[in-house]
Every structure is written in structure tokens, then in C-alpha cells.
């Protein structure tokens, strides 16, 4: 982590000299050319549980003879020269943008450009996103923030399209099939009620054993993140620390919740102590089953909100236009 700390910005912070000092110091003292391997961590909703992270490894950065000669005369200059190469290597494995709105548009454009979500690998998706990210950076360097009118018009249309999807809880891949939008009302109602029932049953262990802690952890993490935000000069919303805070809270709170259930059963039921102990020992298994059940039905869970929204009369008016807008 050559930036020296975590942050929630959409671009790299200036790199610290530590990685260069270590590599050049080892090369000088032992004659070993230590390869520096760039690792890109690309998060998708990384501040929430069940978020995704794509990890990529770039081409190793090796110390050249020119940098070693520079190191002999000016260590500081050699550090900067090597750090420039490391920064280029890191940019080859992450997707950067000027701000979150631009990053959202880059990912939307990538989804519209690729042929199909099913036939495109994660590596290909990341490569496409980086290409659009690099194009945006080149355009900023050439035009500043005032792009040519045709580009501005395209960006506005893409932004409007994504805003519409967000409003109705839809994903772009869902519009690649007209059948998804053109589903009859009765079938949509059945789909929603069936999906809600199945997920409720599958999620019962999580609702009882995990959800109370999840809600409390969410509240505590956001409160603690505000403190970190006030103490930091580089964070935007302190989203980078949210999941860490949630995990710290849950590690303590989940076992406490299970013990609380066991004590309540002992105090307010006629169950034998050994029965309660067996149940307490089973809580971790039930909790894990609940997590796995929710994960298995995650796509169905994501479809519940748009399924409910599509039952509203106002959606019936806009539904036929969405696939056309996507194709355009």
C-alpha cells in the first residue's frame, strides 16, 4: 500500500517513498534486483457486507541501471524516478476517475459497449473499464472539463439512462432481454410473492442470528466513520473504513447475541440446560447456513425491489422505452 493509508477517493494519492527506498537499498547492499509487483484492488460496494473485490496483478517493475546510477548521485531523484514507474504499474491494474460520478459513467459505458455480460470475463470487463478510464483522462488533459458538444451530449444521455435504472432498481443486464420488462402483471406479481416467500424462508436463520447485529454494526460503523473523516485530510466519506468497523463490531456482538438468546431461553422457558447448550453450540452452524442461503439467493434478492416497482402503474408507461433507450 504505497499510498501510506486507506482512503475512498477515485484516484491514487501521491505515493510514499518507502517502497522505492526498500528496493533500491536492497539492490545497493546485496546486489539483488527486487521486482515490485503492482496489485490492484478494485472494489464494488466495498463498504458493505457481501461486496466484491477484483484483485489484479500487473507486470513487475524492475530497477534499471539508469535508476541505480541516479541513486548513486541523488537518492531522492532515484526514489521519484522509481515511484513514477510504480505509479504507472498501479494504474495498469486499477480503474481511476476524476470523481464518483465519472466513475459511474465509465462503468455504465463499459456495460453498454460490451456485447454480453455472460460472455465477457471479469478480466475483459476490467480491461474495458481501464480503457474508458484512460480515455477520460486523455480527454481531460486535452479539453479540460469542457468536452466537445457531441461527447457532452453522449455523457448526458448515458447519465440519464443510469439514473433511470437506479430509480427503478434495475440493472443494465436485465434490459438485454425484452422479456424481463414485458412480463405480464400477473406473472410479475407471482414472481415477486414467490421470490419474497422463498427468500424469507431461506433467510430465517440470518434474520434471527445475524440481522440484529448487522443493523447495529451498520449504525456503529457510520458513527465511527464520521470521527475518522473529521481526523483525515484525504477521505471523502470515509467509506474505506466502514466494513472494517462493521467486522470489528460483529466479531464481538455476534457471539454475545447468541449467548443472550441462550440466557433468555434458560430464564423464560422450561428447557433443560443441556438442551439450551446444544442449541447454543448449533448457532454458528445455523448462522453460517443463513449466510449461505442469502448468498445463494442474492440475485433473487436484488430482483425483489425492481419486481415490486414494476407492479406500479407508472412503471408500465416507461417500461417499453427502456430497452429502446439502451439500444440507442
**pLDDT band at residue 64 under the 50/70/90 scheme:** very high
Question: Over the stretch 20-52, which tens digit does the pLDDT of each residue have?
Answer: 999 999 999 999 999 999 999 888 778 887 777
The rounded radius of gyration (Å) of the Cα atoms in the chain is 26
Query: What is the spatial distance between Cα 239 and Cα 225, in angstroms, rounded to a whole number?
Result: 7
pLDDT at 150: 94
pLDDT exceeds 90 at position 292: no
pLDDT averaged over every residue in the chain: 88
Torsion of CA 78, 79, 83, 84, to 10 degrees: -40
Torsion of CA 71, 76, 79, 84, to 10 degrees: -120
pLDDT at 278: 96
- Averaged pLDDT for residues 53-70: 92
Q: What does pTM read for this prediction?
A: 0.71
Higher pLDDT, 249 or 311: 249
Question: Over the stretch 110-164, which tens digit does the pLDDT of each residue have?
Answer: 999 987 766 778 788 888 999 999 999 999 999 998 999 999 999 999 999 999 9
pLDDT at 181: 61
Amino acid at each position: 500500500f504505497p499510498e501510506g493509508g486507506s482512503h475512498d477517493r477515485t484516484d491514487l494519492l501521491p505515493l510514499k517513498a518507502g517502497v522505492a527506498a526498500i528496493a533500491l537499498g536492497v539492490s545497493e547492499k546485496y546486489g539483488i534486483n527486487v521486482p515490485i509487483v503492482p496489485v490492484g484492488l478494485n472494489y464494488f460496494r466495498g463498504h458493505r457486507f457481501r461486496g466484491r473485490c477484483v484483485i489484479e496483478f500487473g507486470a513487475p517493475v524492475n530497477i534499471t541501471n539508469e535508476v541505480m546510477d541516479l541513486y548513486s548521485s541523488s537518492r531522492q531523484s532515484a526514489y521519484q524516478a522509481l515511484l513514477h514507474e510504480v505509479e504507472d504499474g498501479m494504474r495498469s491494474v486499477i480503474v481511476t476517475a476524476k470523481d464518483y460520478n465519472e466513475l459511474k459513467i465509465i462503468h455504465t459505458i463499459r456495460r453498454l459497449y460490451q456485447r454480453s455480460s455472460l460472455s465477457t470475463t471479469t478480466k475483459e470487463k476490467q480491461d474495458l473499464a481501464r480503457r474508458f478510464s484512460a480515455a477520460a483522462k486523455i480527454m481531460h488533459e486535452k479539453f479540460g472539463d469542457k468536452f466537445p458538444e457531441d461527447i457532452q451530449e453522449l455523457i448526458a444521455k448515458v447519465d440519464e439512462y443510469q439514473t433511470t435504472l437506479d430509480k427503478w432498481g434495475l440493472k443494465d443486464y436485465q434490459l438485454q432481454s425484452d422479456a424481463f420488462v414485458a412480463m405480464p402483471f400477473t406473472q410479475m406479481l407471482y414472481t415477486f410473492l414467490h421470490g419474497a416467500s422463498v427468500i424469507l424462508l431461506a433467510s430465517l436463520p440470518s434474520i434471527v442470528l445475524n440481522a440484529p447485529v448487522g443493523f447495529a454494526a451498520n449504525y456503529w460503523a457510520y458513527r465511527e466513520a464520521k470521527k475518522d473523516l473529521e481526523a483525515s485530510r484525504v477521505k471523502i466519506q470515509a467509506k474505506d473504513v466502514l466494513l472494517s468497523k462493521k467486522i470489528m463490531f460483529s466479531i464481538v456482538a455476534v457471539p454475545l447475541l447468541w449467548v443472550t438468546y441462550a440466557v433468555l431461553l434458560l430464564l423464560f422457558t422450561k428447557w433443560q440446560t443441556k438442551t439450551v447448550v446444544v442449541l447454543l453450540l448449533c448457532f454458528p452452524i445455523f448462522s453460517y447456513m443463513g449466510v449461505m442461503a442469502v448468498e445463494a439467493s442474492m440475485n433473487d434478492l436484488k430482483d425483489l425491489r425492481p419486481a415490486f416497482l414494476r407492479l406500479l402503474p407508472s412503471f408500465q408507461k416507461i417500461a417499453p422505452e427502456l430497452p429502446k433507450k439502451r439500444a440507442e
